[in-house]
C-alpha cells in the first residue's frame, strides 16, 4: 500500500534534473504517460483524468490519503498557494489541478528548463473536470519555476 506513493514521491523529487533528460530522450508515446496522485473519493479528479484520456494521454491513478497527497505536493515543489485537489507527473513535469490539455501539450513541446510544472490553483468552475452547465469562471494557468516563483502561462476568461 505504501510502496506506490513512496515510489511516486521518490520519482517526483528527481524532477529538476529529470526534466531536461526526458525532454531530450523521451519519445512522443512516453510523453503522453501521466501518473495522477489523487484522493480516491474526489469526483472532479476523476473527471479531469477522463478529459485527459479523451485528449490522448495515457492516465494512471495513484490513490492516496489527504496527508500523503499534501506531503507529495510539498516534495515536488508545488507552492501552497498553487495547490489544488490532484497532482500529476508527465514528461518530468508536475501538473497541479485542472490544467487544460492544450497547456500541458505546450509545456511538453517547449520543454523549458528550470520549471517544475503548471498549476491551476483551487478548483475553478468551468476548468477541465470542473464543468458545470455553461458556466466558466475566469482562471489562470501558472508556470511554477524551481524555487517556487510563478508566472501566468495562460488565461481563460469568464464565459
Q: Please count the structural domains in the chain.
A: 1
User: Sorting pLDDT into bands at 50, 70 and 90, what band is 20?
Assistant: low
Of 26 and 65, more confident: 65
Of 22 and 67, more confident: 67
Range of the domain at 136: 3-156
pLDDT in tens, 121-142: 999 999 999 999 999 999 999 9
CB 92 within 8 A of CB 152: no
Amino acid at each position: 500500500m505504501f510502496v506506490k506513493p513512496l515510489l511516486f514521491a521518490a520519482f517526483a523529487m528527481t524532477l529538476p534534473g529529470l526534466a531536461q533528460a526526458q525532454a531530450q530522450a523521451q519519445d512522443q508515446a512516453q510523453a503522453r504517460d501521466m501518473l495522477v496522485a489523487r484522493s480516491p473519493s474526489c469526483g472532479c479528479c476523476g473527471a479531469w483524468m477522463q478529459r485527459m484520456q479523451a485528449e490522448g494521454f495515457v492516465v494512471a491513478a495513484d490513490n492516496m490519503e489527504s496527508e500523503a497527497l499534501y506531503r507529495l505536493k510539498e516534495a515536488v515543489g508545488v507552492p501552497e498557494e498553487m495547490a489544488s485537489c490532484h497532482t500529476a507527473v508527465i514528461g518530468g513535469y508536475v501538473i497541479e489541478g485542472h490544467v487544460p490539455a492544450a497547456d500541458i501539450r505546450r509545456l511538453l513541446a517547449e520543454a523549458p528548463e528550470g520549471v517544475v510544472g503548471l498549476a491551476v490553483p483551487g478548483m475553478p468552475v468551468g476548468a477541465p473536470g470542473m464543468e458545470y452547465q455553461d458556466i466558466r469562471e475566469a482562471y489562470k494557468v501558472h508556470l511554477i519555476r524551481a524555487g517556487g516563483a510563478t508566472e501566468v502561462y495562460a488565461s481563460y476568461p469568464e464565459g
